[in-house]
A and B are shown apart, each in its own frame.
Chain A
Amino acid sequence: MSTTFETTLPEQAVQEKGETRATRIGKHIALFLVVIGAWECVSAFGWVDQLILPRPSAIAVSLVNLAFIQGNVWWHFGVTLYEALAGFVIGSAIGIALAIAAGLNESFRRYISPYIVAIQVTPRIALAPIVIAWLGFGIGPKIGIAALICFFPPFINTLTGLLNVDEDALEMFHSLGAKKSQIFWRLMLPNAMPIIMAGLKTAISLALIGAIVGEFISASEGMGVLMQRYTFSLNMASSFAVLVMLTVMGYILFVLTEAADNWLVFWRHDARMVALSKKKARNWRVD
């Protein structure tokens, strides 16, 4: 766990990585091209029906068409992204708030624990039609479904993180005469941050699933609607193009949470920790 303070180490590590990275990326691209090429051949020679598996070139053409020529796909893209993000924010906020209440209050924790188990074992996606029935057909119910599906990992991770406090650290705070609120803000919450962030990373991909399932059930806009529309009309190349765009959306969301993790839980990321240490040394003022 303990590493010696060595300012040159991280840069060296990055340099070493950079050398191998070029060759590694090259290998990845080569493998990707081989797979795509094989797929193209399989479809071109008619070994697999175009209606089952469209050719990569056809998917690429559809993608360009959707994204740049038709252009209206971006509206749907934005709708789904908005539903997923709003659902993520609401679901995570509720999950974290409930977990903090449960973490700080033992009797509250006891009362809700059977329901936690019930929620955990229920396939929450099954609630989606009920939510639609409640909230109607607009964007609202999709946000609700996304929130419902994604709230659990932030909840359980926050609770676990808050309860998993080092006994010795707690005793140290007590020996300093710390108040309960000081222990929460200065020890319990930061201590739980890494696992809370891990919960949020899971939640963001669940929120996207929730938004799309909501759109499948009933919607007039969003990537889920496009997906259904294209598959119903057997336009498989466009369906796959929509799938590729959803992959891109998922990746963007993932990168954003990774960046948030890097920023918030800096002490678990060596490069950022070293940078912050230097910055704090530069900015140190006693006033």
Chain B
Amino acid sequence: MGFLSVEAVSKEFPGVRGSAVTRALETTDLTVEDNDFITILGPSGCGKSTLLRIIAGLETLGTGRVLLDGAPVARPGPDRGMVFQSYTLFPWLTVRDNIRFGSRASDAKADELIGKVGLRGFENHFPKMLSGGMQQRTALARALANDPKILLLDEPFGALDNQTRALMQELLLGIWEADKKTVLFVTHDIDEAIFMANRVAVMSARPGRIKATLAIDLPHPRHYTMKTTPEFSRYKAEITEQIRVESIRAIEMEAA
């Protein structure tokens, strides 16, 4: 039994006005160890966000249960920090006040994090004055300032350009290498999934479930140049093959 365990969890959404129910998540198991960094990789619509939202307590369970540190998860709480796929900073709060929002956030921690995510000089800016990348860095700092047991990241860099995205990956990895947080990171980008992870969990096409997990034995600290090494390419080839099968299935299912 791990630090976080997802046991036989599935989820259906009721159909709208007579249409059939949407099966968003097939029965899924996942175990995450303390201080682990797991990326969840899968095609669009396979239920990645749904799984993460269930763990966060934002979505009710269909079946199964989620245990964090031995205790069942029922509602959202400060022990699970989340960075959302969309921008969710509070527009009326400055960067600093956003980071201090959490019930367990301390001022000292907030100030330290502002430096870590490279937002010195922007403490008193409102979110609308920030670029997308800066907003997601603030959101990351906001989640970290609350000192959660586990960090849930839902494609946090999905909307960013490639260069910014690569910088953000290194930044997050640096924070993780220094602080050893437990992280669950959702992405649909294969490079990102391998580069960040200790283990990659590959999801099948909709309705998704975790169909394989793959340990990534690349050394830390990691540097972006690692993305061009032969080991990296080997992992990439292996996961690409798995994902390809799923993507083809997803498209066939939509056609059917």
Q: Bound pair: A and B?
A: no
Interfacial residues, chain A to chain B (CB-CB below 8 A): none
